[in-house]
Amino acid sequence: MEKIKIIFLGTSQAIPTATRNHTSILLSYKNENILIDCGEGTQRQFRKANINPCKITRLLITHWHGDHVLGIPGFFQTLALNNYSKMLHVYGPKGTKKFIKEILKIFIKKNRINVKVTEVDGKFFENNDFALESIGLEHGIPSNGYAFKEKDKLRINKDKLSKILKRNKLTFNDHKKFGNLIKGRNIKINKIILKSKDLTYTQKGRKLSFVFDTKYCKNAIKIAKNSDLSIIESTYSKNEKDLAEKYKHLTSGQAAQIAKEANVKLLVLTHISQRHEHKENGLLKEAKKIFPQTKIARDFMIVEV
């Protein structure tokens, strides 16, 4: 099974700290490298993590607050100076087209990079391997949560196939023909019919979700539903619930409650306020009381699903 790799390039809230850069996460899967938000300093984080920014294929923007987007001008300049040759697909909430147009106008010479911008709501991308979905959250400005949903795959039960071949004394070197089994087709070897339904099983696709700046809301639960991994902002502690409500953010306990109600397998807390610098374990303990399968993100932490 192909790994889905998450690298946390930045895990702070609005003000970065000595140990936490502004928000940015990289999702790598097969030939896709999807950047979720691009806070100030992200291109330097690429360098520290030994990541080539020209490998980025898509940029997902959750919302247009500075700590999530101020790294975009520098990122675009880096791509232009390195002769980025792909089409960069940029997705975001309402207003994204206008903001990206202004960034390109101010910082990038005409036609130096190819950027396609789409303002999204619901499913907005799909290929043979996965789909991307968005949903509106509640943060006072247009703000999206995102989900990466791998498609279910039909797989060959190799042990079962091996036993049938051995029992019938069959030798077969045309392995490409076995590919028909995972297309739902039967194959024939020396008059023996091998049925797809008997020799295959469904490998359920994995789901990852990203719930950044928002207050506690139903849509946060909806986008996180049944995620193998959900990455959720945790700006405040339970003692700061009034601040969370005022600024439309989540406490660590609310993030854990979302994970619990959404039947998530693993929760990772991010977007940590500077006021919790070196005291993050307090947030972690609060969350674990509600949802034990919780971790707290740190810059350059890697999670594989």
pLDDT in tens, 181-194: 877 788 877 777 88
Q: How far is CA 290 from CA 79, 97, 106, 134, 254, in A?
A: 43, 39, 47, 26, 9
Does one domain contain both 135 and 147? yes
Does one domain contain both 174 and 38? no
Does one domain contain both 186 and 257? no
What's the pTM value of the predicted model, to 2 decimals? Answer: 0.92
Does one domain contain both 171 and 267? no
Name the more confident of 168 and 148: 148
Q: What is the pLDDT of residue 48?
A: 97
Report residue 51: phi and psi, to 5°: -110, 130
- Residues catalogued as catalytic: 67
Q: With 80 as the cut, is the pLDDT of residue 225 above it?
A: yes
Does one domain contain both 254 and 239? yes
Does one domain contain both 110 and 168? no
Q: With 80 as the cut, is the pLDDT of residue 71 above it?
A: yes
Distance of CA 266 to the CA centre of its chain: 13
Q: With 90 as the cut, is the pLDDT of residue 166 above it?
A: no
Q: How many domains does the chain have?
A: 2
CATH number of the domain to which 278 belongs: 3.60.15.10
Distance of CA 89 to the CA centre of its chain: 15
Does one domain contain both 97 and 182? no
Question: How much is the mean pLDDT over the chain?
Answer: 93
Task: Give which of 204, 224, 227, 205 is closest to 214, Cα–Cα.
Answer: 224
Does one domain contain both 215 and 184? no
Cβ neighbour number for residue 50 with a 10 Å cutoff: 6
Radius of gyration of the chain (CA): 22
Report residue 171: phi and psi, to 5°: -120, 135
Residue type, 104: L
Tokens describing residue 288: 């674990």
Does one domain contain both 80 and 226? yes
CA distance 279 to 274: 10
Does one domain contain both 191 and 293? no
Question: Residue 160's domain spans which residues?
Answer: 154-202
CA distance 69 to 65: 7
Q: With 90 as the cut, is the pLDDT of residue 77 above it?
A: yes
CA distance 5 to 33: 9
